[in-house]
Structures are given as structure tokens and as C-alpha cells.
Amino acid sequence: MASLVRKIISASKAPAPVGGAPYNQAIVFNNIVFLSGVLGMDKDSNKLVDGGAEAQATQALKNIGHILEASGSSYNNVIKSTIMLRDINDFGTVNEVYRKFFTKDFPARSTFQVGKLPLDAAVEIEVIAAVGNNIETVTSKI
């Protein structure tokens, strides 16, 4: 009987879990990668980048790219993203950053203002993506 495999991803190019918290950067299961929430942290300093929501969203999405790559995935394979903002007034700014990483065939997405994020971050982003290179996108309009 075949067993299902749950693959733990640890991307060396992205920051480790905040403060050694008990979670992994990502888990691949059944050709889907589930990323934990990613902050706009610099890997080398292990601190949030300066520059508020815009800079933190940019860095978070770069970190996501490293984790996706380590998982055998890419931005083009992202199915769903969730963005958590300290201040919903940063929605437009974060959208501008988001469009630099997701240029067409956008993933499904939810965005929320939350009470507080780890390290008092302005932005936290998590994604779910397909793993592999043979992903086809089709559009259905009814």
C-alpha cells in the first residue's frame, strides 16, 4: 500500500520561522505547496525591512518566491493568496507591489486588516500553489 508523503520545505534563501516558532516555511502535499505566513524580513538580519507596508510587502513576496522555488513551484502556479494588513489603508499600496509579482491570471485572494502581526509587521502573506512545470491555466466565463 502506497503512503502519502508530506514534504517539509526549508528554503535557505528565505528567513527561518520567527523566533524559532513551531512551524515550517512550507509543506508540499499531493503536488500542492502550502506556505506559512511570510513577513517582509531580511534573511541576513532576521529583522523586518524598513519602509513600511510597501517595502515589507515587496520583501515578503521575494521571500515567497524563494520558498516557492525550493518547493518546485513559482508565482505563476499560485492558486490562492491571503494578505493580512495591520492597516487596511495600505490596501492600494500593497496591490501595486502585488502586481509586480503577479502580472496576469491572478490567483484567488483574500485581504484582511488584523489586530496585530508578529514583530508588529505591516504585512503578512501566505499562498497555496501547485507544484510542477506542466500547469495550464484556462479561463471559464459563464
Cβ-count burial of 123 within 10 angstroms (0-12 exposed, 13-18 middle, 19+ buried)? buried
pLDDT tens digits, one per residue of 43-74: 999 999 999 999 999 999 999 999 999 999 99
Note the pLDDT of residue 20: 87
CB-CB contact of 124 with 15 (8 Å): no
Residues contacting residue 3 through CB under 8 Å, at least 6 positions apart: none
Question: Residue 20 carries which side chain, given as an amino acid letter?
Answer: G
DSSP 8-state code for residue 51: S
The stretch 77-90 carries a mean pLDDT of: 98
What gap in Å lies between CA 126 and CA 113, rounded to an integer? 14
The stretch 84-92 carries a mean pLDDT of: 98
What is the pTM for the complete model shown? 0.93
Place of cell 510587502: 57
The architecture of the domain spanning 6-130 is: 2-Layer Sandwich (3.30)
Note the pLDDT of residue 27: 98
Cβ-count burial of 20 within 10 angstroms (0-12 exposed, 13-18 middle, 19+ buried)? exposed
Query: Helix (H, G, I), strand (E, B), or coil: what is residue 72?
Result: coil
Q: Where are the domains of the chain?
A: 6-130
Cell numbers given for 59: 520583501
pLDDT tens digits, one per residue of 7-34: 999 999 999 998 889 999 999 999 999 9
Q: Which residue has the higher pLDDT, 49 or 104?
A: 49
Nearest to 62 by CA among 88, 48, 42, 76: 42
**pLDDT at 91 > cutoff 90:** yes
Do you know the residue count of the chain? Answer: 142
Q: Which pLDDT band, with edges at 50, 70 and 90, does 2 fall under?
A: low
Residue percentage of the chain with pLDDT more than 70: 99
Q: What is the mean pLDDT of the chain?
A: 95
Note the pLDDT of residue 1: 62
